[in-house]
Amino acid sequence: MAGMAGRMSTVIKAKISKLLDRAEDPGETLDYSYQKQLESLQNVKKGIADVVTAKKRLGMQATKLEQAVVKLDTQARQALAAGNEELARTALERKQFAQTELQSLDQQVAELQSQQDKLIESQKRLSTKIEAFRTKKEVIKAQYSAAEAQVRISEAASGVGEEMADVGLAMQRAVDKTENMKARAAAVEELEAAGTFEDLTQLGAGQDDIDRQLAELGAGGMVDDDLAKMKAELGMAPSPAPGELESGEPGEAKA
Protein backbone atom coordinates (compact mmCIF):
# COMPACT_ATOMS: atom_id res chain seq x y z
CA MET A 1 0.00 0.00 0.00
CA ALA A 2 1.40 3.34 -1.03
CA GLY A 3 0.68 6.56 0.77
CA MET A 4 0.62 7.21 4.49
CA ALA A 5 -0.04 3.65 5.54
CA GLY A 6 2.68 2.41 3.20
CA ARG A 7 5.21 4.80 4.60
CA MET A 8 4.22 4.03 8.18
CA SER A 9 4.53 0.27 7.52
CA THR A 10 7.92 0.66 5.87
CA VAL A 11 9.34 2.72 8.72
CA ILE A 12 8.11 0.30 11.36
CA LYS A 13 9.21 -2.84 9.56
CA ALA A 14 12.66 -1.30 9.20
CA LYS A 15 12.76 -0.66 12.94
CA ILE A 16 11.73 -4.23 13.69
CA SER A 17 14.28 -5.78 11.37
CA LYS A 18 16.95 -3.67 13.06
CA LEU A 19 15.82 -5.16 16.35
CA LEU A 20 15.90 -8.70 14.99
CA ASP A 21 19.31 -8.29 13.34
CA ARG A 22 20.96 -7.63 16.67
CA ALA A 23 20.94 -11.20 17.85
CA GLU A 24 23.01 -14.10 16.53
CA ASP A 25 20.94 -17.19 17.29
CA PRO A 26 17.19 -17.78 17.77
CA GLY A 27 17.34 -18.12 21.54
CA GLU A 28 19.29 -14.92 21.78
CA THR A 29 16.77 -13.12 19.57
CA LEU A 30 14.02 -14.11 21.96
CA ASP A 31 15.86 -12.95 25.03
CA TYR A 32 17.15 -9.77 23.45
CA SER A 33 13.71 -8.92 22.16
CA TYR A 34 12.16 -9.61 25.55
CA GLN A 35 14.72 -7.40 27.28
CA LYS A 36 13.98 -4.59 24.78
CA GLN A 37 10.27 -4.98 25.47
CA LEU A 38 10.81 -4.54 29.19
CA GLU A 39 12.94 -1.45 28.55
CA SER A 40 10.22 -0.09 26.33
CA LEU A 41 7.66 -0.64 29.07
CA GLN A 42 9.88 1.16 31.59
CA ASN A 43 10.17 4.09 29.19
CA VAL A 44 6.42 4.36 28.90
CA LYS A 45 6.07 4.40 32.67
CA LYS A 46 8.64 7.18 32.86
CA GLY A 47 6.86 9.02 30.06
CA ILE A 48 3.57 8.88 31.93
CA ALA A 49 5.25 10.24 35.06
CA ASP A 50 6.70 13.13 33.01
CA VAL A 51 3.33 14.02 31.57
CA VAL A 52 1.76 13.95 35.05
CA THR A 53 4.49 16.27 36.39
CA ALA A 54 4.05 18.71 33.51
CA LYS A 55 0.30 18.65 34.02
CA LYS A 56 0.67 19.42 37.73
CA ARG A 57 2.94 22.35 36.98
CA LEU A 58 0.45 23.80 34.52
CA GLY A 59 -2.34 23.20 37.02
CA MET A 60 -0.48 25.19 39.67
CA GLN A 61 0.04 28.03 37.22
CA ALA A 62 -3.64 27.98 36.38
CA THR A 63 -4.52 28.32 40.08
CA LYS A 64 -2.20 31.32 40.40
CA LEU A 65 -3.71 32.92 37.33
CA GLU A 66 -7.23 32.35 38.65
CA GLN A 67 -6.25 34.16 41.83
CA ALA A 68 -4.69 36.95 39.79
CA VAL A 69 -7.89 37.38 37.79
CA VAL A 70 -9.93 37.75 40.99
CA LYS A 71 -7.46 40.15 42.53
CA LEU A 72 -7.10 42.31 39.43
CA ASP A 73 -10.87 42.53 39.18
CA THR A 74 -11.09 43.72 42.79
CA GLN A 75 -8.32 46.22 42.19
CA ALA A 76 -10.09 47.57 39.11
CA ARG A 77 -13.28 48.07 41.15
CA GLN A 78 -11.36 49.79 43.93
CA ALA A 79 -9.59 52.06 41.47
CA LEU A 80 -12.83 52.93 39.74
CA ALA A 81 -14.60 53.59 43.04
CA ALA A 82 -11.75 55.92 43.93
CA GLY A 83 -12.24 57.66 40.60
CA ASN A 84 -8.99 56.59 38.93
CA GLU A 85 -10.20 55.21 35.65
CA GLU A 86 -6.76 54.88 34.18
CA LEU A 87 -5.54 52.66 37.01
CA ALA A 88 -8.74 50.63 36.70
CA ARG A 89 -8.01 50.23 32.99
CA THR A 90 -4.48 48.99 33.72
CA ALA A 91 -5.85 46.42 36.15
CA LEU A 92 -8.48 45.30 33.65
CA GLU A 93 -5.91 44.99 30.88
CA ARG A 94 -3.86 42.71 33.06
CA LYS A 95 -6.94 40.78 34.01
CA GLN A 96 -7.72 40.23 30.32
CA PHE A 97 -4.20 39.03 29.69
CA ALA A 98 -4.34 36.68 32.68
CA GLN A 99 -7.66 35.30 31.45
CA THR A 100 -6.28 34.64 27.98
CA GLU A 101 -3.30 32.83 29.47
CA LEU A 102 -5.64 30.90 31.72
CA GLN A 103 -7.71 29.69 28.77
CA SER A 104 -4.63 28.55 26.95
CA LEU A 105 -3.38 26.78 30.09
CA ASP A 106 -6.69 24.96 30.47
CA GLN A 107 -6.43 23.73 26.88
CA GLN A 108 -2.90 22.55 27.48
CA VAL A 109 -3.86 20.69 30.62
CA ALA A 110 -6.65 18.97 28.67
CA GLU A 111 -4.21 18.09 25.88
CA LEU A 112 -1.73 16.59 28.36
CA GLN A 113 -4.54 14.65 30.00
CA SER A 114 -5.40 13.12 26.65
CA GLN A 115 -1.73 12.24 26.06
CA GLN A 116 -1.59 10.65 29.48
CA ASP A 117 -4.70 8.57 28.78
CA LYS A 118 -3.23 7.38 25.50
CA LEU A 119 0.05 6.41 27.13
CA ILE A 120 -1.75 4.50 29.85
CA GLU A 121 -3.68 2.60 27.17
CA SER A 122 -0.44 1.90 25.30
CA GLN A 123 1.21 0.72 28.47
CA LYS A 124 -1.65 -1.66 29.14
CA ARG A 125 -1.51 -3.13 25.65
CA LEU A 126 2.24 -3.49 25.60
CA SER A 127 2.31 -5.04 29.02
CA THR A 128 -0.26 -7.69 28.01
CA LYS A 129 1.65 -8.35 24.81
CA ILE A 130 4.94 -8.75 26.64
CA GLU A 131 3.40 -11.26 28.98
CA ALA A 132 2.05 -13.22 25.98
CA PHE A 133 5.46 -13.05 24.36
CA ARG A 134 7.16 -14.36 27.49
CA THR A 135 4.92 -17.43 27.47
CA LYS A 136 5.39 -17.94 23.75
CA LYS A 137 9.14 -17.58 24.10
CA GLU A 138 9.33 -20.52 26.48
CA VAL A 139 7.08 -22.64 24.26
CA ILE A 140 9.20 -21.91 21.19
CA LYS A 141 12.42 -22.71 23.03
CA ALA A 142 11.03 -26.02 24.33
CA GLN A 143 9.08 -27.32 21.35
CA TYR A 144 10.64 -26.36 18.08
CA SER A 145 13.73 -27.41 16.17
CA ALA A 146 16.20 -24.65 15.36
CA ALA A 147 14.94 -24.14 11.79
CA GLU A 148 11.28 -24.05 12.77
CA ALA A 149 12.02 -21.91 15.78
CA GLN A 150 13.66 -19.27 13.61
CA VAL A 151 10.42 -18.67 11.73
CA ARG A 152 8.26 -18.61 14.86
CA ILE A 153 10.68 -16.30 16.60
CA SER A 154 10.66 -13.83 13.73
CA GLU A 155 6.88 -13.82 13.75
CA ALA A 156 6.61 -13.32 17.47
CA ALA A 157 9.35 -10.72 17.66
CA SER A 158 7.85 -8.81 14.71
CA GLY A 159 4.43 -8.79 16.33
CA VAL A 160 5.71 -7.45 19.61
CA GLY A 161 8.20 -5.20 17.80
CA GLU A 162 5.29 -3.50 16.13
CA GLU A 163 3.66 -2.86 19.48
CA MET A 164 6.93 -1.39 20.74
CA ALA A 165 7.16 0.89 17.70
CA ASP A 166 3.56 1.91 18.34
CA VAL A 167 4.27 2.74 21.96
CA GLY A 168 7.46 4.49 20.88
CA LEU A 169 5.51 6.81 18.62
CA ALA A 170 2.90 7.51 21.30
CA MET A 171 5.75 8.33 23.69
CA GLN A 172 7.45 10.60 21.20
CA ARG A 173 4.25 12.52 20.55
CA ALA A 174 3.60 12.87 24.27
CA VAL A 175 7.16 14.03 24.91
CA ASP A 176 6.99 16.60 22.08
CA LYS A 177 3.74 18.01 23.42
CA THR A 178 5.05 18.03 26.99
CA GLU A 179 8.25 19.81 25.92
CA ASN A 180 6.25 22.49 24.09
CA MET A 181 4.15 23.04 27.15
CA LYS A 182 7.14 23.13 29.47
CA ALA A 183 8.60 25.90 27.34
CA ARG A 184 5.30 27.72 27.47
CA ALA A 185 5.02 27.23 31.22
CA ALA A 186 8.49 28.70 31.61
CA ALA A 187 7.45 31.71 29.52
CA VAL A 188 4.39 32.29 31.72
CA GLU A 189 6.56 32.00 34.81
CA GLU A 190 8.83 34.69 33.40
CA LEU A 191 5.85 36.96 32.89
CA GLU A 192 4.82 36.29 36.47
CA ALA A 193 8.32 37.08 37.71
CA ALA A 194 8.19 40.35 35.76
CA GLY A 195 5.04 41.25 37.72
CA THR A 196 2.64 40.95 34.81
CA PHE A 197 0.11 39.17 36.98
CA GLU A 198 1.68 40.36 40.26
CA ASP A 199 3.03 38.04 42.87
CA LEU A 200 0.06 36.85 44.85
CA THR A 201 2.10 34.59 47.06
CA GLN A 202 3.52 37.67 48.76
CA LEU A 203 0.39 39.51 49.69
CA GLY A 204 1.05 42.01 52.46
CA ALA A 205 4.82 42.28 52.41
CA GLY A 206 5.16 42.47 48.65
CA GLN A 207 2.42 44.80 47.55
CA ASP A 208 2.34 45.25 43.81
CA ASP A 209 2.32 48.54 42.00
CA ILE A 210 -1.46 48.65 41.65
CA ASP A 211 -1.80 48.20 45.42
CA ARG A 212 0.65 51.03 45.96
CA GLN A 213 -1.16 53.27 43.53
CA LEU A 214 -4.46 52.49 45.23
CA ALA A 215 -2.94 53.44 48.59
CA GLU A 216 -1.67 56.68 47.09
CA LEU A 217 -5.04 57.22 45.54
CA GLY A 218 -6.63 56.83 48.97
CA ALA A 219 -4.36 59.56 50.27
CA GLY A 220 -4.83 61.59 47.13
CA GLY A 221 -8.59 61.20 47.46
CA MET A 222 -8.54 62.73 50.92
CA VAL A 223 -6.52 65.63 49.60
CA ASP A 224 -9.01 66.05 46.79
CA ASP A 225 -11.90 66.01 49.26
CA ASP A 226 -10.18 68.67 51.34
CA LEU A 227 -9.52 70.71 48.23
CA ALA A 228 -13.13 70.40 47.14
CA LYS A 229 -14.35 71.54 50.57
CA MET A 230 -12.02 74.49 50.54
CA LYS A 231 -13.08 75.42 47.03
CA ALA A 232 -16.72 75.27 48.03
CA GLU A 233 -16.04 77.49 51.04
CA LEU A 234 -14.30 80.02 48.83
CA GLY A 235 -17.12 79.82 46.23
CA MET A 236 -14.92 78.31 43.48
CA ALA A 237 -16.02 75.81 40.79
CA PRO A 238 -15.80 72.17 41.88
CA SER A 239 -12.59 70.39 40.78
CA PRO A 240 -12.77 67.89 37.90
CA ALA A 241 -13.09 64.20 38.67
CA PRO A 242 -9.73 62.65 39.64
CA GLY A 243 -9.79 60.44 36.57
CA GLU A 244 -9.76 63.53 34.36
CA LEU A 245 -6.74 65.05 36.03
CA GLU A 246 -3.80 65.68 33.75
CA SER A 247 -0.95 63.21 33.82
CA GLY A 248 2.02 63.65 36.13
CA GLU A 249 -0.16 62.96 39.15
CA PRO A 250 1.23 59.95 41.10
CA GLY A 251 -2.02 57.94 40.99
CA GLU A 252 -1.96 57.99 37.24
CA ALA A 253 1.55 56.76 36.60
CA LYS A 254 1.51 54.12 33.86
CA ALA A 255 2.56 50.70 35.01
The binding site for another protein (CB under 8 A) comprises 1-9, 11-12, 15, 118, 121-122, 124-125, 128-129, 131-133, 136, 155-156, 158-160, 162, 165-166, 168-170, 172-173
Cβ closest to another protein, residue 125 vs residue 184? 125
* 94: enclosing H helix or E strand: helix 85-143
Q: Side-chain half-sphere of 179: how many Cα atoms within 13 Å?
A: 6
Q: What is the DSSP-derived secondary structure letter of residue 239?
A: P
Rounded distance, CA 112 to CA 155, Å? 35
Taking the least distance from each CB to another protein, the nearer of 16 and 82 is: 16
- Shortest Cβ 127–another protein spacing (Å): 8
Residue placing its CB nearer to another protein in the complex, 124 or 212: 124
SS (H, E, C) 33-62: HHHHHHHHHHHHHHHHHHHHHHHHHHHHHH
What span, in angstroms and rounded, lies between the C-alpha atoms of 181 and 105?
9
Give least dist CB 26 to another protein, A: 16
Report the residue count for the chain.
Answer: 255
Shortest approach of another protein to residue 49 CB, angstroms?
A: 19
Separation CA 107–CA 101 (nearest Å)? 10
Q: How far is the CB of 52 from another protein (least distance, A)?
A: 19
Dist. CA 162–CA 199, nearest whole Å = 49
Closest to another protein by CB, 5 or 234: 5
Quote the least distance from Cβ 224 to another protein, whole Å: 58
Closest CB to another protein among 62 and 165?
165
| Nearest residue (CB) to another protein, 26 versus 168 | 168
Question: Phi first, then psi: what are they for 31, rounded to 5°?
Answer: -70, -40
What's the min distance (Å) between Cβ of 212 and another protein?
Answer: 47
> What is the distance between the alpha carbons of residues 76 and 67, in angstroms, rounded to a whole number?
14
CB closer to another protein, 106 vs 111: 111
* Cβ–Cβ under 8 Å, residues 20 and 162: no
Phi-psi region of 241 (alpha: psi -120 to 50; beta: other; left: phi over 0): beta
